[in-house]
């Protein structure tokens, strides 16, 4: 059994979220943003001028009104936090039960995973911070969308 996997009943997007490898990301809001962007970023555009999120619907962009991006960020944070807690538990066991060399390495891992657990803990402010950074990362101007079939997606034809 993979102790780093996300329980099946806690997330409907387990397959995609299981691909997260927390050691590839910094233990801060920017790392959470990078993980979200790797998994979902291409699905989203933030439209300045209209101040809306558009999500790709396999054939077209559509306005997202149900805070879907916030849910994805929360799910990414859950997956990263769960993985960090699992690795912390493993490191604590190794620090107690290993030989002297293993204990020394395990103590280093305990420190790393404690910081990851704290960094990836979900909160409203952290989700808002990551969502705001995602706007900057995935922004496009409404005028740039005034081509093709994008016109019908923006309020008042802006």
Tokens of 118: 């704290």
Q: Do the beta carbons of residue 22 and residue 83 sit within 8 Å?
A: yes
Sign of CA dihedral 93, 99, 100, 105: negative
Residue 17 within any structural domain of the chain:
no
pLDDT of residue 9: 43
Lookup result for tokens 């439209």: 47
For residue 1, pLDDT over 50 is answered with no
Rounded Cα distance between 156 and 63, Å, is: 13
Number of domains in the chain: 1
Q: Higher pLDDT residue, 79 or 61?
A: 79
Residue 3 within any structural domain of the chain:
no
| pTM of the entire predicted model | 0.79
What DSSP state is assigned to residue 6? Answer: P
Domain, as residue range, for 74: 22-157
Secondary structure tally for the chain: helices H, strands E: 5, 4
């Amino acid at each position: 059994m993979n102790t780093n996997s996300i329980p099946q009943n806690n997330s409907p997007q387990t397959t995609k979220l299981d691909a997260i490898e927390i050691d590839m990301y910094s233990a801060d809001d920017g790392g959470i943003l990078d993980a979200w962007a790797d998994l979902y970023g291409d699905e989203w555009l933030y439209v300045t001028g209209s101040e809306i999120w558009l999500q790709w619907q396999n054939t077209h962009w559509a306005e997202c009104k149900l805070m879907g991006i916030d849910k994805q960020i929360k799910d990414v944070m859950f997956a990263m936090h769960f993985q960090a807690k699992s690795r912390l538990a493993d490191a604590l066991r190794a620090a107690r039960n290993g030989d002297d060399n293993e204990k020394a390495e395990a103590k280093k891992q305990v420190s790393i995973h404690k910081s990851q657990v704290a960094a990836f803990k979900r909160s409203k402010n952290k989700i808002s911070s990551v969502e705001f950074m995602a706007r900057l990362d995935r922004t496009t101007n409404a005028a740039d969308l005034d081509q093709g079939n994008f016109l019908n997606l923006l309020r008042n034809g802006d």
